[in-house]
Amino acid sequence: MTERGASGMSGVSVLWDESVRFPSLAELKEAAVVVRLPMNVRFRGVVEREVLLLEGPTGWGEFSPFLEYGPAEASRWLAAGVEAAWRGWPEPVRDAVSVNGTVPAVAAERIPEVLARYDGVGTVKVKVAERGQSVDEDVARVAAVARELPGVRIRVDANEGWDHDTAVDALSRLAEFDLEYAEQPVAGIEGLARLREALDARGVGVRLAADEAVRKSDDPLKVARMGAAEVIIVKVQPLGGVRAALQIVEQAGLDAVVSSALDSSVGLAGGVALAAALPELKYACGLGTGALFADDVVAPGLKPQAGVLPVGAVVPERGKLEALAVDAGRRAWWMDRLEACYAELLG
């Protein structure tokens, strides 16, 4: 079997088996279903999620780049959806994966409500550094999780929301909670490297994880070469598919955590496929975000039971696809976006 890159794609190789025919744009448009999923809570400013699903010979794939992403970045997400629907995923080495719960940047008093949506998780990721919020609010949120679930493993995710000095202060204060790691506290690979040095100089032993510095970089392996983080976050859609993400993990040589990109259950199944194919899976995966949706394309949705998700494809329910379908205007917008990303992917 011969692999080739479908395109340069901002430095991320999208792997494709030359023996498998890549679908035409017309086929993709015919296979596409666009839905709008409501959310239980605001997450990264999102209260509903528009998702384009593709039905192909090997199952269903998802193409759901955030609305502000341009074709160059969004084309990777299309590659992941095509891989799922027209090629399928690598064979798994495990039949289930552990997942973490996710706490959005809500007030501390809402923590019990949010955690009640997760069954049996032993790890919780807490969103911090929300615009307009303070470090005091972040610390209170993490403390509330620790009180609600004594002994739970906690990681925080800042989505590049802190500047250097704020990150040093915040992580020095949050270190008392024995964090697993802090995900992308500051922007950029150089920013992470500088923060790593500052924390080491102060004896703050919080591990750093790179997310945006991997999935948005022209060179996703630079993090490893610079020693800017101890952990990399890998997401199937932003990296161009399961095989592309596997290649990055292998070449980086760092601990990897598989996480979601606020996918529907169809996309989450791709994340599970990646986690199931990794030779080593040290950390719980960030794939429990199905619990953040008020509705999904399957019922009850791909949500953790006893802290784990099963390995396997998800087939949307036709009734759900019809009930959640967007109007004609939004579908036309997504068809234009699909066409632009297809041209970027193969051009």
Structure-block tokens of residue 277: 């194919």
Q: Which of 255, 261, 307, 312 is closest to 281 using CA atoms?
A: 255
Query: Alpha-carbon distance 95 to 236, whole Å?
Result: 18
Q: Is there a catalytic annotation at residue 127?
A: yes
157 belongs to an annotated ligand binding site? yes
CA count, 13 A, side-chain hemisphere, 60: 24
- On whether the CB atoms of residues 293 and 278 are closer than 8 A, the answer is no
Q: How far is CA 97 from CA 83, 231, 265, 268, in A?
A: 21, 18, 15, 12
- On whether the CB atoms of residues 231 and 207 are closer than 8 A, the answer is yes
Residues 6+ apart with CB under 8 A from 211: 157, 159, 183, 184, 232, 233, 235, 259
Catalytic residue among 125, 222, 235, 303: 235
Query: Alpha-carbon distance 72 to 112, whole Å?
Result: 40
Q: Is there a catalytic annotation at residue 222?
A: no
- On whether the CB atoms of residues 35 and 47 are closer than 8 A, the answer is no
Question: Helix or strand or coil: residue 51?
Answer: strand
Catalytic residue among 127, 222, 303, 320: 127
**Would you list which residues are annotated within the binding site for Mg(2+)?**
157, 183, 211
**Would you list which residues are annotated within the binding site?**
157, 183, 211
Query: Among all residues, which ones are annotated catalytic?
Result: 127, 235
